[in-house]
Amino acid sequence: MNKTYILFCLMLMIIISFGCNREEKMLKSSLDSIAEDDIKAKISILASDEFLGRAPATEGEEKTISYLAEQFRKTGLEPAIGTSYFQEVPLIAITPDPSLKLVITCGRNKLDLNFSDDFIGYTCQTGAEITIDNSEVVFIGYGINAPEYGWNDYKDVDVKGKTVLMLVNDPGYVTGDSALFTGKAMTIYGRWTYKYEEAARQGACAAIIIHETGAAAYPWDVVRNSWSGRQFHLAGNELSKSDLKLQSWITTESAKKLFESAGVDYAAVTSSASKRGFKPVKMNLKASASWKNKVEYTKSVNVAAVWPGSERKDEYVIYTAHWDHFGVNPSIKGDSIFNGALDNATGTAALIEIAEAFVCLPKKQKRSVLFLAVTCEEQGLLGSKFYAKNPVFPLNKTAAVINMDALNIFGRTRDMTIIGYGNSQLDDYAESVLKKYNRYASPDPEPEKGGYFRSDHLSFALAGVPSLYLSGGIDDIEHGKAWALAEAEKWIIANYHKPGDNYEPDKWKFDGMIDDIKVYFEVGYDLSNTEEFPEWNPGTPYRSVRENMMK
């Protein structure tokens, strides 16, 4: 090996080292600004009783969006919508009569199913009164029409004007068979939103999903709390134009009674639904319901603030977090405020914290960064869906979306979880940053719960924009993986979509949250300084949408 080559290598190492040190110095003030006391203060405000559970179109919303706009203004961010931080989202709010009953007849026994305890039901129809009269009930398996998987539960059956009864999740969930959809990992066809939409496309007048805690990924209380009372829908939504009058969940116990009344073996028929060649079952039952709606035409807002880039101001990296939760339920005795501290005061607070970190940079990033606090995530990702269809900045100029939803409150971890790992080149950016901190990226440990389809990055993914859903890790430094998964599950059972989701600074651990927020910041920083537009990986369903967009 000659001396010239050795000298060259030494010089190269010095240059690289200098570059790394320079980059570390560049980021130091920003990273130092991400501090525990700051994030605590922001969460405590957003999750306070004063904000009344942050429900859309309420006093709680007014307090929340005013706070967010003021924080962005004080930080120095520019309004994204002209002179305003608010993108208006037109909504229809529909409150069904809670005395609503679902009546099943023509079987061995008449069933009067009670709202809340036996079933939950709501509608997108804007009529003052809704009636379903002796609609024929058909068990339609999983209610899926997926040509790419060679699966159609609606084949050779006409369900126009009928009530379709179906299972939650995918056929692969029960069998674990990788030849069925994606095996145990849920696809978008397992989500309740898809099932209702497909039922509407098929002309059904009512769609009932059988709840099962494992398959749904949450207990009945979550269904009860999430779909009771005032429900929001985007104005002009497709379901409101369809013949689907009732979107419903039914408890497993009530479903078994319904099958028994029909003289149909529940276990045998639901098991057969996960096998190819399944045929829908006519239950020889009739469903009826009649109720009054309170219909309001209202609005909510996405809060949007931009930190312009230094060179490519017309290209954007977007950070998203949903600010909304479920407000106040006066029918609950005692604590009736759904404060939504973890879900998602944590992510919303991090949005502000990261904005402050960008402003602290001694040299501005090259691309612009949009901080987008979206509304109505809890109502079906409505705010992000509205933005994706009505973008403030062109989607073909949007390099990536980074979504933050329910941050880590359990302690420091060696990893962070990428929900949807393997979907796009954004994984590489996350892994690069994590590696700097001697951490690593993990895939979703519970893909059967369908986490990828339950937060706002999905709206952007469906619109073609590469989106990263980076979440808290499971490799807890102090206690290990099994402990971390068990703690998360305990928290979900006790607090998810319940008044118990309170800010508890004496119980929460913030060191892991701070670690993760710094990773979120650096991933966005790297994306804001590259010339690349990350791509979806081959085989992902969003790739063709992006390719067409970028032509």
Percent above pLDDT 70 for the chain = 96
pLDDT at 24: 75
In a domain, 477, yes or no: yes
Domain membership of residue 328 as a residue range: 308-549
Residues 445 and 526 in one domain: yes
Flag whether pLDDT at 15 surpasses 90: no
pLDDT class of 463 with cuts at 50, 70, 90:
very high
Residue 424: phi and psi, rounded to 5, are: -150, 175
Q: How far apart are CA 479 and CA 406, in angstroms?
A: 20
In a domain, 71, yes or no: no
**DSSP structure class, residue 489:** H
Residues 321 and 283 in one domain: no
Altogether, the residues listed in the chain come to a count of 551
- Over residues 342-351, mean pLDDT: 98
In a domain, 46, yes or no: no
Which residues lie below 8 Å from residue 13, measured CB to CB, with a gap of 6+? none
Residues 434 and 357 in one domain: yes
Give how many domains the chain has, as a whole number.
Answer: 2
pLDDT at 41: 98
pLDDT at 162: 98
Flag whether pLDDT at 167 surpasses 60: yes
- Over residues 403-412, mean pLDDT: 98
Closest of 516, 490, 476 to residue 347, by C-alpha: 516
In a domain, 84, yes or no: no
Residues 276 and 326 in one domain: no
Looking at 296, 330, 356, the residue that finishes a domain is 296
Residues 392 and 426 in one domain: yes
pLDDT at 230: 92
What would the pLDDT profile of 229-242 be if each residue is shown by its tens digit? 899 999 999 999 99
Looking at 296, 329, 363, the residue that finishes a domain is 296
Residues 395 and 536 in one domain: yes
pLDDT at 335: 93
The residues that bridge with 209 in the sheet, in sequence order, are 166, 249
CATH of the domain at 472: 3.40.630.10
pLDDT at 25: 79
pLDDT at 331: 86
Flag whether pLDDT at 18 surpasses 50: no
Residues 291 and 331 in one domain: no
In a domain, 87, yes or no: no
- Over residues 336-361, mean pLDDT: 98
Residues 150 and 120 in one domain: yes
pLDDT at 98: 87
Residues 284 and 327 in one domain: no
Flag whether pLDDT at 20 surpasses 60: no
Residues 290 and 324 in one domain: no
Closest of 448, 441, 446 to residue 475, by C-alpha: 441
What would the pLDDT profile of 202-233 be if each residue is shown by its tens digit? 999 999 999 999 999 999 999 999 998 899 99
Least confident of 175-189, 300-314, 358-372, 393-407: 175-189
pLDDT at 399: 98
pLDDT at 4: 60
What would the pLDDT profile of 55-107 be if each residue is shown by its tens digit? 999 999 999 999 999 999 999 999 999 999 999 999 999 998 888 999 999 99
Looking at 272, 296, 320, the residue that finishes a domain is 296
In a domain, 229, yes or no: yes
**DSSP structure class, residue 87:** E
Percent above pLDDT 90 for the chain = 92
pLDDT at 539: 93
Residue 94: phi and psi, rounded to 5, are: -125, 125
In a domain, 24, yes or no: no
Residues 409 and 474 in one domain: yes
The backbone region for 356, taken as left when phi is positive above 0, alpha when psi lies in -120 to 50, beta otherwise, is alpha
Residue 246: phi and psi, rounded to 5, are: -135, 125
Mark out the alpha helices in 157-275 (DSSP H runs): 171-175, 192-201, 213-216, 220-226, 252-262, 266-272
In a domain, 301, yes or no: no
Residues 215 and 149 in one domain: yes
What would the pLDDT profile of 95-151 be if each residue is shown by its tens digit? 988 889 999 999 999 999 999 999 999 999 999 999 999 999 999 999 999 999 999
CATH of the domain at 178: 3.50.30.30
Chain mean pLDDT for the chain: 94
pLDDT at 19: 53
- Over residues 249-262, mean pLDDT: 97
pLDDT at 403: 98
